[in-house]
Structure 1
Amino acid sequence: MIPTHRLLVPYAAPYFAYVLIATVAERFVPMEVNYLLRIVIVSATLLWARQWFFSFRGPKSPVVSTLVGILAGVAGLILWIALLTPFVSIGDGKSWSQSAFILRLLAAGFLVPVFEEVLMRGFIFRLALQWDEARKSKATDALSIAMDRRSVNDVQPGAWSWAAIIVSTLVFTLGHTTPEWPASIAYGLLMAGLYILRRDLLSCIVAHGVTNIALAIYVYQTGKWYLW
């Protein structure tokens, strides 16, 4: 068993590498270079970290999980647009160059879904579940038990608690801008429900990817850049 505290860096590194590059590099390089750096560096980080991840597949059919993930991704797109639109204005966004759009589409559609779901539903959800279980057993050091004497990789696929849903959704929401919070809460709950239903991370990654790709295409076709 690899205790959870030793898994924190592999699970979190891709997410924070992406955020760090996005924050720092935008001051010094064009957006196209910024996204190219994110794609290359975060992909390499994921390849390094994957040896510590639990399997993205669960006990149910991966084909069905993929199909359900696609449907959930479309539902997520509708939720996102409906809940974000009231909190943004047309002047908030501006069009992207074609090359920058393609690079952002690649990152948002194929990279972000992997590292966000790995951290949010793969690590934080499971850590919160193990903390909640230790807390319910009247342990006074519940977080220490969850971090040092448990492993998120040992959690049964689909196991859940309300605390796990709430904590993972809140953390997911805090990773977004304030106008995105209502949409993020709804989307976080959708992904938590999908993870519980399908008992795998595959469906969540597929859904997240479908939502992001569909949103990019919608924005590009309608010119509603303020939604992206």
Structure 2
Amino acid sequence: MSPIFVRSLPFGLYIVLLALEGLLQGWAPGFDVRWLYPVKAGLVALALAVLWRHYTELKSYGLPLKHLLLSLVVGLIVLVLWVNLDAGWMLLGEAGKGYNPTDASGNIDWLLVVFRIAGAVLVVPVMEELFWRSFLQRWVQQTDFLALDPARIGFKALLIASALFAVEHVQWLAGLVAGLAYGWLYIRTRNLWAPIIAHGVTNGALGAYVVATGHWSFW
């Protein structure tokens, strides 16, 4: 299979399902679209599992302790910046209601929370880092991207991939910062597990913050 295809399919599938979620709100107004999130995460996880043998950059699971700690720190720094970079001019459009797992009485449906955090921590970071960092960031630098050592990625490629990553998010400035941070981490460690771990830490800590504060718009 094409190395571009196998790194793009899970991400493309997620985007298609995200668009379907928006359409269903008009097609089936009585359907609770919140339950599409575990479906999205599950289908993307299945795609990743089927294609896993093609992800050569994920065959080595070990990270030196210093790189693991660096990944944790970067993930937490991105979280702090993310929840503060939400002024009006930092948004693409208006901030929505987000993923609100509460019922009409304001009680939290904890099963929805578990699905949301599990998908955001275990599935989304792998899917996105394979697409944005392993594929696109290297491909911008060199079309034969599998032969490129991540340490040789230049600033131009880092910036372009991060800018495109930014427009995927409503909080474009926070997305840009996150893209630069994860992209730099990939260059610095030469190991895709480093940005995956950092991304997972950001998403997991953000989930805890959102549930604790009720700021659902960050979801």
- TM normalised by structure 1 equals 0.80
Residue in structure 1 matching 2:74, options 72, 75, 85: 72
Distance in 2 (CA, whole Å) between partners of 1:103 and 1:61 is 27
Distance in 2 (CA, whole Å) between partners of 1:166 and 1:109 is 24
Aligned pairs (5 A) from 1:203-222: 203-222=194-213
State the Cα distance separating 1:126 from its structure 2 match: 0.7
Look up the SS of the partner of 1:84 in the other structure.
coil
State the Cα distance separating 1:10 from its structure 2 match: 0.5
Q: 1:93 to 1:12 in 2, by over 3 A?
A: closer
1:226 aligned residue? 217
Distance in 1 (CA, whole Å) between partners of 2:126 and 2:216 is 24
Given that 2:71 and 2:197 are in contact with CA atoms closer than 8 Å, whether structure 1 keeps it comes out as: yes
Aligned pairs (5 A) from 1:41-80: 41-56=43-58, 61-80=63-82
Structure with higher RCO (Cα < 8 A, 6+ apart): 1
2:182 aligned residue? 191
Which amino acid counterpart does residue 117 of structure 1 have in structure 2? E
Q: 1:94 to 1:19 in 2, by over 3 A?
A: closer
State the Cα distance separating 1:157 from its structure 2 match: 3.5
1:96 aligned residue? 101
State the superposition RMSD in angstroms: 2.5
Residue in structure 1 matching 2:14, options 18, 35, 49: 18
State the Cα distance separating 1:174 from its structure 2 match: 2.1
1:138 aligned residue? none
- TM normalised by structure 2 equals 0.83
Distance in 1 (CA, whole Å) between partners of 2:133 and 2:139 is 9
Q: 1:188 to 1:90 in 2, by over 3 A?
A: closer
Given that 1:191 and 1:204 are in contact with CA atoms closer than 8 Å, whether structure 2 keeps it comes out as: yes
Note the residue ranges of structure 1 that are not aligned, 5 or more in a row. 131-145
User: Which runs of 4 or more aligned residues in structure 1 lie more than 6 Å from their structure 2 counterparts after TM superposition?
Assistant: 88-91
Distance in 2 (CA, whole Å) between partners of 1:36 and 1:43 is 10
Which amino acid counterpart does residue 214 of structure 2 have in structure 1? G
Aligned length: 203
Distance in 2 (CA, whole Å) between partners of 1:25 and 1:91 is 14
Deviations 1:29-49 (A, max 9, x none): 523430221122111110122
